[in-house]
Amino acid sequence: MFKYLRIAILLVILATVAEEAWLAHSHAVSWSRPLQVAIYPINGDGSAVADAYLRGLQPRAFKSIEDFFADEARRRGLDIHRPVEIALAPIVASLPPQPPRDGSAIENLLWGLKIRYWAWRHDGVPGMRPQARLFVLYFDPATHDALPHSVGSERGMIGLVNAFATPAMAGSNAVVAAHELLHTLGATDKYDLASDQPVFPDGYAEPARAPRLPQQFAEIMAGRIPVSESDAEIPATLGACVIGDATAREIGWMKP
Ligand SMILES: [Zn+2]
């Protein structure tokens, strides 16, 4: 009896999660209204530096992401005045479950359920029902040379972003956040996973540019500016990034 009850409850939870993901997604990509995005700051390493940085974050700290989407929509001649609206959510005092490294399909699926459950418990934003949720973990740059990989999942439209707790890195933190937000909208990576080099032509901001290298801008889903066949630079701000044609197609900004 209890066994069936447990299975029934589990099925209800699964159905709810699936439905919510489907609803959020089907609304998100129509672009008829601004996509509602909430950014949740989190102290990633428990440091005093990250704590001070979180408390100093201004409500407009991520305006550059709104501007980036608006500028790119305008550049493409799209009739979308404000593609994305971002709200800074209150600080979340809990750490999200980390994605498995090179996880199996089952491990990834389980993490997907865990992170959605965790997000559901921690995603309250006064006066807003976010469609996409980005949880940004801040780390003290003095004790962290490199950060774990950030992730963005289309299912549930959740991103986990690892960021440096210093104003000097605010621009590149926004680049990573915009990249993961685009993942939640269905965009795919456009760089070579082994070398980190942008893939031609989809990972190039200006694939028709002659000479092809060096490029001046980064395609946001390639994440880097190709300067030679073997070198690419990390853009300092979203001002050095564009949404390329392949990404535009994936997020419903261009006909397939
Ligand atoms: Zn990516």
Q: For ligand 1, a single-atom ion, which residues have Cβ within 5 Å? A: 189
CA of residue 167 to ligand 1 center, whole Å: 23
CA of residue 185 to ligand 1 center, whole Å: 12
Domain ranges of the chain: 2-186, 188-256
CA of residue 6 to ligand 1 center, whole Å: 36
C-alpha 86/C-alpha 109 separation (Å) is 28
pLDDT of 23 higher than 60: no
Q: Say which DSSP state 204 is in.
A: B
The 10s digit of each residue's pLDDT in 150-177 is 999 888 899 999 999 999 999 999 999 9
Name which residue leads in pLDDT, 177 or 6: 177
The stretch 26-32 carries a mean pLDDT of: 71
CA of residue 184 to ligand 1 center, whole Å: 10
Q: Which two tokens stand for residue 16?
A: 């709810």
Name which residue leads in pLDDT, 29 or 113: 113
How distant, in Å, are the alpha carbons of 30, 49, 120, 144, 250 from that of 131? 12, 30, 12, 31, 18
Architecture category of domain 2-186 in CATH: 3-Layer(aba) Sandwich (3.40)
